[in-house]
Amino acid sequence: MRIYMTMVLAAAMATAASAKTFTVTSPDSRVTATIDADAQRFDLSASADGALVLGPSPLSVILSDGTVIGPSAKVRATGHRSVDTMIPSPLYRSAEVRDNFNELTLRVARDWDVVVRAYNDGVAYRFVTRHKKPFEIADETASLRFPGEATVVTPYNNSSGKTLSAQYRTSFENTYSTVPLSEVDRNRLSFLPLVVSVPSGHKVLVSESALENYPGMFLLADSIEPYTLQADFAPVPKTRVQGGHNNLQMLTTEREDFIARVYGPRSFPWRMIVIAQDDATLAATDMTYLLGEPSRLDDTSWIKPGKVAWDWWNDWNLIGVPFKTGVNNDTYKAYIDFASANGIEYVILDEGWAVNLKADLMQVVPEIDLPMLVDYADSKGVGLILWAGYHAFDRDMENVCRHYSDMGIKGFKTDFMDHDDQLITDFNYRAAETAAKYNMIVDFHGTSKPAGLNRTWPNVVNFEGVFGLEQMKWADESTDMVTYDVMVPFIRQVAGPLDYTQGAMSNAAKGNYRPIYNDPMSQGTRCRQLALYMIFDSPLTMLCDTPSNYSREPESTAFIASTPTVWDETRVLDAKMGEYIVPARRSGDEWWIGGITDWTPRDMKVDLSFIPGIESATIEVMADGANAHRNGRDYSRTVTTGAKLGASPTVHLAPGGGFAMRITPAGR
């Protein structure tokens, strides 16, 4: 039996007017956050293993009336506490996670605090106000100064806009650029997370959590200070007009001169600095989840994770059927039949089921009989999810959720928000809360990273904000998706789950990829696609390909269908950002291990000695075939019974390859 102890040391606020330097150190004493405060500055720095990883970085909040919280603020009092407890984490990569930190609170004004935490794998800070009257925040300063030249791995904003204001509209989808810190483009915003490899050898990931009713942070290379990334925030929209994709978006035409309205006492988002000595630690951090606000749902038993038969990526491309495929009843009945036959929990009706250009989710195209499809799906043990454009959902949210919940729809995939200003982050929480009221799940697309929302509202089961497999429908041949895949677990996935939409059955070896919109393919091997179900955190996971293609690949389909989407335990066995990763995940008494590589072939030794209490097992391995370097669809399947787990099997990965392994205790 494990005994969990929570120790909270809440010191009384003590006068600290004369003090200028304040520190808080992680429970293992490896990480230290330091605040230097005097009449001219309010700076945060961080060190790890005795090395400076973040230099003195000015922090402040600037109010619209000119008040500055931070520099020139006298620290009036301090408070300290320590926490070490296990918290439940439903619908996450582990069933529970350890929350272990030391915390420092600085009273910097009569009604303002700054809270700083030190974890074993990083530091975080946030501003807190007790001000009771409404006010506006003109800006927030976070000038992140790094100790000398470093390497940055950054997702630049993919907007074509030349001004910063134009770049606030973005889908938060791009591959990563690896550049020296001194050469980061000063005219392009970067969205979070991003990673800086500092001179000490540590990797420093910058992100945020508890992002509620406040704009998300971008980073921009400072034009004056060397080795500095400056925070930037989208101002509150002043005027918006309907437009954009199929008239489903709201386009900002004018902005206010402030970034947020505040209506009373509140805590602001956590600014998060993950510090990792090794890449496996970076990929395994739970800081984003831990810093998210606790769940606002008393009961999560109704939230059903699972896999989804998806229509859009494969362009409704069925063959061998006696009807013309598309957005119609016969096509969706075929998807439902496929899902039912393979134990897949959901089918999604993506864009096209509602009348186009109306931004009205109560208008269904005549080719679709939704009540009939719901009844048919229910008879087959399958749930239906509906795609919803942002404006159509936002303007009629309560009515839409009530209507479709009563009909039997299980949730929504909302899309094309394409901003993370205060209005959109507020929408995300309102959408989650309203959907939960009607026992509905939500998958956010066309939006930024999760930033703790999935802890606060566990019915939000996935997020896009990733350069996912959909890009392979149109991306140029020069696009390197394989390398991107082995960077995502160390960067984007640190923010939370991602709807990458894996599962392609047409797999292109290096040099063979071509964009084909209605019959797309993936880069890399078949087994890479299988492994991604263990690589990526994704409580709601798509099967992106057509049922016709899956029916021709029964072994691959069966393996995907049997893979869990939430886990009791996750470990990262071996990893190097941009090259390879091998996580192991436990569901009940079974272990699932996946591995992927970049374009470099590898022989990976998989050490199974970490699995306790199992003397022998059945091991199923899906591995790249002997000719997978020429034909990405080539694979082998081996099943070994009575295997001894003290051994360390070696698996060969082709260029762009992968493997997937299932370990089942003997006698089960």
Residues labelled catalytic: 415, 470
Residue 381 burial (CB count, 10 A): 12
CA dist 287 → 128, 139, 272 (Å): 19, 25, 8
Tell me the C-alpha distance between 317 and 590, whole Å. 35
Tell me the C-alpha distance between 617 and 236, whole Å. 57
Non-local CB neighbours of 103 within 8 Å, separated by 6+ positions: 24, 80, 81, 82, 83, 115, 116, 117, 118
Tell me the C-alpha distance between 249 and 432, whole Å. 19
273 and 285 in contact (C-beta within 8 Å)? no
Half-sphere exposure of 599 (CA within 13 A, CB side): 12
Residue 18 burial (CB count, 10 A): 7
Strand order across the 569-576 sheet: 569-576, 580-587, 590-597, 658-665, 616-624, 635-644
Question: Bridge-partner residues for 445, per DSSP?
Answer: none
Q: Per residue, what are the HEC states of 505-538?
A: CCEECCCCCCCCCCCCCEECCHHHHHHHHHHCCC
Place of tokens 């078949």: 526
Q: Which residue from 128, 282, 289, 154 is spatially nearest to 208, judged by alpha carbons?
A: 289
Peptide bond into 193 cis (omega under 30): yes
385-413 burial by CB neighbour count: b if 16+ within 10 A, else e?
bbbbbbbbbbeebeebbeebbeeebbbbb
Tell me the C-alpha distance between 270 and 254, whole Å. 28
Helix (H) or strand (E) holding 257: none
DSSP per position, 392-440: HHHTTHHHHHHHHHHHT--EEEEE-----SHHHHHHHHHHHHHHHHTT-
Q: If DSSP codes are grouped into helix, strand and coil, which group holds residue 623? A: strand
CA dist 499 → 61, 129, 327 (Å): 34, 35, 22
Tell me the C-alpha distance between 639 and 622, whole Å. 9
- DSSP letter (8 states) at residue 630: T
Q: What value, to the nearest 5°, has the Cα angle with vertex 623 and ends 622 and 628?
A: 135
Alpha helices, DSSP H only, in 449-591?
Answer: 453-456, 481-485, 526-535, 547-551, 554-562
525 backbone φψ class: left, alpha, beta (φ>0; ψ -120 to 50): beta
563-600 burial by CB neighbour count: b if 16+ within 10 A, else e?
bbbbbeebbbbbbebbbbbbbbbbbeebbbbbbbbbbe
CA dihedral 204, 271, 585, 659 (to 10 degrees): -50
Max CA pair span of the chain: 82
The sign of the torsion formed by the CA atoms of 496, 497, 499, 503 equals positive
Please report, as a single letter, which amino acid is at residue 122: G
Tokens of 12: 């009384």
